Amino acid sequence: MRVYNFSAGPAMLPLAALEQARAELTDWQGSGMSVMEVSHRGKAFVACAAETEALLRELLGVPSNYKVLFLQGGATTQFSAIPWNLSAAGASINVLHTGQWSAKAIKAARQQDLTVDVIADEAATGYSTTPAADGFRVDPTAAYLHYTPNETIGGVEFGYVPESGDVPLVADMSSTILSRPIDVSKFGLIYAGAQKNMGPSGLCVVIVRDDLVGRARPGTPGPLDYAAMAESDSMLNTPPTFGVYLLGLILAWVKESGGLTAMGERNRAKAELLYRAIDTSEYYRNPVALDSRSWMNVPFIGARPELDKTFVSEAAEAGLTNLAGHRSVGGMRASIYNAMPIEGVQALIDFMTDFARRNA
Amino acid sequence: MRVYNFSAGPAMLPLAALEQARAELTDWQGSGMSVMEVSHRGKAFVACAAETEALLRELLGVPSNYKVLFLQGGATTQFSAIPWNLSAAGASINVLHTGQWSAKAIKAARQQDLTVDVIADEAATGYSTTPAADGFRVDPTAAYLHYTPNETIGGVEFGYVPESGDVPLVADMSSTILSRPIDVSKFGLIYAGAQKNMGPSGLCVVIVRDDLVGRARPGTPGPLDYAAMAESDSMLNTPPTFGVYLLGLILAWVKESGGLTAMGERNRAKAELLYRAIDTSEYYRNPVALDSRSWMNVPFIGARPELDKTFVSEAAEAGLTNLAGHRSVGGMRASIYNAMPIEGVQALIDFMTDFARRNA
C-alpha cells in the first residue's frame, strides 16, 4: 500500500525508480553486488555516474561550458562553499531575501569575509511576495547575485528569472530543479539538494559555468572546491554512490514521462487545481501573493486553526501524509513535487472539501 | 547470485541488512513510503536515527561524555573540519604519517592556519611499517595528535593505540571502526566514512568528547561545526537519511553476530588465514612488516606481475571480485571487512593456490 506523501523533503519519489532500485538492490546489473557495494572508481559505477550526468545535461539543456558536480552536504553546505568559490576575500555579493531559505544563505555568507548587500527584502509582506522584476538594482561590481527561486516554507516562488547583467546569477533550486524547463545559460551557478525532485538526501548537485571554476579561496576543503571536484569527475573523495545511481533512475523516469516540458505542464496543472480549490473554498486560505505562488509547496490555513492537527491526522489516516505546515509557521502545507500525481492532488482536494463540510 | 566482493570501499555489506532494506524499500514500517521519502524531522525517522545512535553507542561502548554525529562529506571533509573545530588559528598539531591517507589529512591541515608537526614518518620503509609505540614524542602543547589506525592502500595497521597524554587523540577509523572492540575513552575524536564497515558512502560518523565541542573557529560552516550539529541531533540540515537507516540495520546485524568481540575474533581469524596462505606460498608476497599488517586490507604481489591483470579477471569470473590493488601501487588487494565471511577468504585462498599452481 503506497500513500500520497506531501512531505516537503525528503519527499515522494517516483515508484518506478524505487521499484527498479528494489529489484536490483542485492544484485546490480548481474554483478552479484549491490550498487552500494561496488567501487566508485570501477568501470560499472563510473559509467553509471557518467550516464546520470549525461541525462541531467540532456533534460536540463546544460550548455557545454558548464560543469555538473555531484557533491555532499546539501544546499546548506553550499551556503558557505559558494562564497568561498565565487568571491574573493572582502568582495561584495547581492542577495534577494524572500524567506527562511534565503535568510540561511545570507547568514552563512555573512560568516565569511564578505559584504552581503540585501538588494530586495520582502519583510514588509511577511515574505508572502517576491520582489518585482524591476524592483531592485544589481551592483555591477558584485561578485554574484544570489536568490532562492522557491521558498519551501513560505510557498513563495519567483515567476521570472532575475536580470543580473554581467553579474553571475546564483540560484538555490533545491525545490524546483527538474520541475519545468529552465534556461541554464542565464545562470552562473545552480545548486540543489536532491531530496525533493532528484532523489534521496545526501546528494547535492551543482551546475556551474566554467569561468566561475578555479577561483576558490586558499584553504577551501577539496570536496567543496569546484575545480578540484570538476577535475576529478566529482570523485576527489568517495561520492554518495547510491544517491547518484537513484538520481539516474529518477531522471530516466522524467525522460519517459515526457521530459521537463511535460513535467512543467503536469506541475502547473496540479498547482492550479489545488490553488483553485483553496481560493473557491470558504474554509481554506493561501497567504501568498497571486504572482508569487509556488508550484511545489502550497501552504494553507484553515478557518479553525484549532483543528489543524485533526486535519493532518485524519488526512494521514486517509492515506494523505505529511500535510503539517513547517514547524515555524504552522497550518498545513502540501508539497507537490514531480513524483506527486494529479490523482494525489485530487484526493487531497476531496479530503479538504469533506473536512471543511464536516467542520465549517 | 552473490559474489565475494573484496572492494576496499564502498565495500561488501551484510546481505541480511540489504535484504531487509529491499523488503521495505517502497513501504517502510507499513507507512506506505520508503524510508527515503519520509521527513527527517518526522517521528518515525527521528526514532530511527536515535535507535541507530543508541546501538552504535552500545556496541562501541561510547561513554556518555561523547557526542555521536551523523555527518556528510566523508573523512576527506573531516580532514578540514577537524582543525577548524579542534585548533585555534596558529596552533600546532602532531601527526603520525603512515601512508596515503595520513598524507591527505596532513595536506588538508596544512591548508589551514596551522603548524603541522609530523612526529613520526614511515617514509624510510616505503610506508610498510607503523612507528614503534615509543618511537615518537608528542608535544604536550599540541592541539591534538592525529593518526590513521589503518591505511587501506598500504595495508598497514597500528597494533596499539598511541599514547598522547593529555593531548587529544584523533583517529581516522574509516576502515577499522566496528571491526573489533575499542576503548573510546582513549580518544578525543574518532571519525569514519561509512562505506567500509558501516554502510553506503555519503555518511560520515564523528564521535567526539564533549570538551572538544564548541570551539569551532568563526566561519566554520554549520554542517561542519560539531557544536551546531550536536545541538541539532545532526539535523541542522537534512541528514543522509538512507545511510543512517542502513547503518542501523548493519549495527543490528553486528549485534546479532555477537557484537564487536565476536567481530574481532572473526576478523582476526580471516586475516590470519589469508596471511598464512600468502606467507607459505612461493608465489605470493605481502610487503608489510609483521607487526603492522592490516586485518582489513591485505595487499599482495604475485611472482609474475605481468599476470596481475589475469589474476584479477579470472578471480572475478570465479566470483571473487574487486581484487586489483590500488591504482597507485598495483598488485592485488583483498579487503576483508566485517561483511566478508571466512568462506570468502577460503575461496580466495583456494583460487590463489590454483592460480599459482597454473602459473608458477
ipTM computed for the complex? 0.97
Write the class of the CATH domain B4-9+258-359.
Answer: alpha beta
What is the per-residue pLDDT for A1?
84
In chain A, CATH 3.90.1150.10 sits at: 258-359
Looking up cell 558548464, which residue turns up? A66
Across the interface, do B38 and A112 touch by the CB < 8 Å criterion? no
Catalytic-labelled residue, pool B28, B172, B270, B295: B172
For the stretch B213-271, pLDDT in tens is 999 999 999 999 999 999 999 999 999 999 999 999 999 999 999 999 999 999 999 99
Cβ contacts of A219 on chain B, cutoff 8 Å: 80, 111-113
CA pair distance B346, B356, nearest whole angstrom: 15
Phi-psi region of B258 (alpha: psi -120 to 50; beta: other; left: phi over 0): left
Across the interface, do B37 and A10 touch by the CB < 8 Å criterion? yes
What is the per-residue pLDDT for B128?
97
Cβ contacts of A175 on chain B, cutoff 8 Å: none
Mean pLDDT of B289-298: 98
Across the interface, do A21 and B25 touch by the CB < 8 Å criterion? yes
In chain B, CATH 3.40.640.10 sits at: 16-256
CA pair distance B261, A51, nearest whole angstrom: 43
Under the banding of pLDDT at 50, 70 and 90, the label for residue B360 is: confident
Cβ contacts of B327 on chain A, cutoff 8 Å: 41
For the stretch A241-267, pLDDT in tens is 999 999 999 999 999 999 999 999 999
Q: What radius of gyration do chain B's Cα atoms show?
A: 21
Write the class of the CATH domain A16-256.
Answer: alpha beta
| B12, B195, B322 ranked by CB distance to A238: nearest | B195
Is the pLDDT reported for residue B72 higher than 90?
yes
Catalytic residues of A: 101, 172, 196
In chain B, CATH 3.90.1150.10 sits at: 4-9+258-359
Mean pLDDT over all residues of chain B?
A: 97
Is the pLDDT reported for residue A14 higher than 90?
yes
Concatenate the DSSP letters of all residues of A263-305 into one string. HHHHHHHHHHHHHHHHHH-SSEE--S-GGGB-SSEEEEEES-G
> Would you say B97 and B120 are in contact if contact means Cβ atoms under 8 Å apart?
yes
Residue of B nearest to A1 (CA): B32
Mean pLDDT of A79-108: 97
Name the nearest CA neighbour of B324 among A39, A33, A32, A37: A39
Find the farthest-apart pair of alpha carbons in chain B and give their distance in angstroms, rounded: 62
Is the pLDDT reported for residue A360 higher than 90?
no
CATH code linked to domain A258-359: 3.90.1150.10
Catalytic-labelled residue, pool B28, B101, B253, B295: B101
Q: pTM for this structure?
A: 0.98
What is the per-residue pLDDT for B160?
98
For the stretch A301-346, pLDDT in tens is 999 999 999 999 999 999 999 999 998 889 999 999 999 999 999 9
- DSSP letter at A254 equals H
**Helices first, then strands: H and E counts in chain B:** 9, 14
Mean pLDDT of A32-47: 97
Across the interface, do B202 and A243 touch by the CB < 8 Å criterion? yes
Q: Nearest CA of chain A to the CA of B35: how many Å?
A: 9
Across the interface, do A34 and B18 touch by the CB < 8 Å criterion? yes
| B37, B41, B240 ranked by CB distance to A240: nearest | B240
Q: Nearest CA of chain A to the CA of B99: how many Å?
A: 16
Percent helix, strand and coil across chain B, each to the nearest 5: 40, 15, 40
Q: Nearest CA of chain B to the CA of A95: how many Å?
A: 19
DSSP bridge partners of A191: A172, A206
Q: Nearest CA of chain A to the CA of B27: how many Å?
A: 7
* Amino acid symbol at A92: S
CA pair distance A84, A78, nearest whole angstrom: 9
Name the nearest CA neighbour of A174 among B133, B182, B237, B281: B237
Under the banding of pLDDT at 50, 70 and 90, the label for residue B1 is: confident
Residues constituting chain B: 360
Across the interface, do B1 and A219 touch by the CB < 8 Å criterion? no
